[in-house]
């Protein structure tokens, strides 16, 4: 968390709320979240520049800066990017888990908080950003990802289909929640090897994955535990989850008890052994 729908929601929120605002001060409280740059250089290259545009790539939020740099924030499990009014009184970053805070020219603040500090913040020059983005796979909502291309992507691997879906180098943006959900909707067992998935099954999987992601974006993502949008709100897709977080409960499709294990990438996999084949 966040995955594609949550990162998309945050990016859209910030694009509408913070594009055009200039950074007048940067406070970095936990430099260990930085990747590829030191704290002093980070501050030097961000203060005085303007946010031009926010968008999403994979599970990261991208801020295009007027300097040409790209600010890439990957929240991971407990990170949140929040646009807020400046507090009337000083707030301790130790108690509110603030990692980074930008003071904006309109008096507001853009704050990155991360309870466990598993997320990352990177400031990339254009060439570095191009290299980073080049390591990512296609986006599942990109019309250029055809059924045939997706079938080749899936069927070329002997790994478990759930692992393939979550591999950002093969397809970017899908994480544990939506991999579990899409495989249940498609009736495919998560441990099936990619090469065993038929073309018809892969086409069905891509279709349901796109539907789920689109629906989740419309509902502003899934707030199962930590995720909040850029205004601190919760996502509403949690009410539509069919398997994730429901281990031990009856399958909504066939009534069998849902199973769970941690054999794939150490993440919880929830599935129905009766109707996912």
In SS3 terms, the chain reads as CCCHHHHHHHHHHHHHHHCCCEEEEEEECCHHHEECCCHHHHHHHHCCCEEEEEEEECCEEEEEECCCCEEEEECCCCEEEEEEECCCCCCCHHHHCEEEEEEECCCEEEEEEECCCCCEEEEECHHHHHHHHHCCCCCCCCCCCCHHHHHHHHHCCCCEHHHHHHCCCCCCCCCHHHHHHHHHHHCCCCCCEHHHCCHHHHHHHHHHHHHHHHHHHHCCCECCCCCCCCCCCCCEHHHHCCCCCCCCCECCCCCCECEEEEEECCEEEEECCCCCC
Determine which one of 59, 101, 162, 170 is catalytic: 59
**Is 2 labeled as catalytic in the residue annotation?**
yes
Distance of CA 223 to the CA centre of its chain: 12
**Is 267 labeled as catalytic in the residue annotation?**
yes
Determine which one of 2, 75, 140, 190 is catalytic: 2
**Is 3 labeled as catalytic in the residue annotation?**
yes
**Is 75 labeled as catalytic in the residue annotation?**
no
Instruction: Kindly list the catalytic residues.
Output: 2-3, 59, 267
């Amino acid at each position: 968390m966040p995955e594609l729908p949550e990162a998309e929601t945050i990016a859209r929120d910030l694009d509408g709320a913070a594009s055009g605002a200039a950074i007048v001060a940067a406070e970095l409280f936990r430099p260990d979240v930085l990747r590829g740059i030191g704290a002093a250089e980070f501050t030097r290259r961000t203060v005085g520049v303007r946010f031009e545009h926010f968008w999403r790539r994979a599970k990261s939020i991208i801020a295009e800066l007027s300097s040409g740099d790209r600010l890439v924030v990957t929240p991971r499990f407990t990170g949140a990017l929040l646009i807020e009014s400046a507090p009337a009184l000083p707030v301790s970053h130790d108690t509110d888990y603030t990692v980074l805070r930008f003071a904006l020219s309109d008096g507001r603040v853009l704050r990155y908080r991360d309870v466990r500090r598993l997320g990352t913040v990177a400031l990339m020059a254009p060439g570095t950003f191009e290299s980073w983005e080049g390591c990512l796979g296609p986006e599942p909502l990109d019309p250029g990802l055809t059924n045939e291309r997706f079938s080749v992507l899936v069927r070329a691997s002997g790994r478990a289909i759930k692992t393939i879906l979550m591999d950002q180098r093969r397809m970017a943006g899908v994480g544990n929640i939506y991999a579990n959900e899409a495989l249940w909707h498609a009736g495919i067992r998560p441990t099936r090897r990619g090469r065993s998935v038929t073309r018809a099954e892969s086409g069905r999987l891509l279709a349901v994955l796109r539907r789920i992601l689109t629906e989740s974006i419309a509902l502003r993502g899934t707030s199962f535990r930590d995720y909040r949008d850029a205004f601190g709100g919760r996502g509403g897709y949690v009410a539509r989850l069919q398997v994730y977080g429901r281990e031990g409960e009856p399958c909504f499709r066939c009534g069998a008890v849902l199973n769970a294990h941690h054999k794939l990438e150490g993440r919880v996999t929830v599935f129905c052994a009766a109707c996912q084949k």
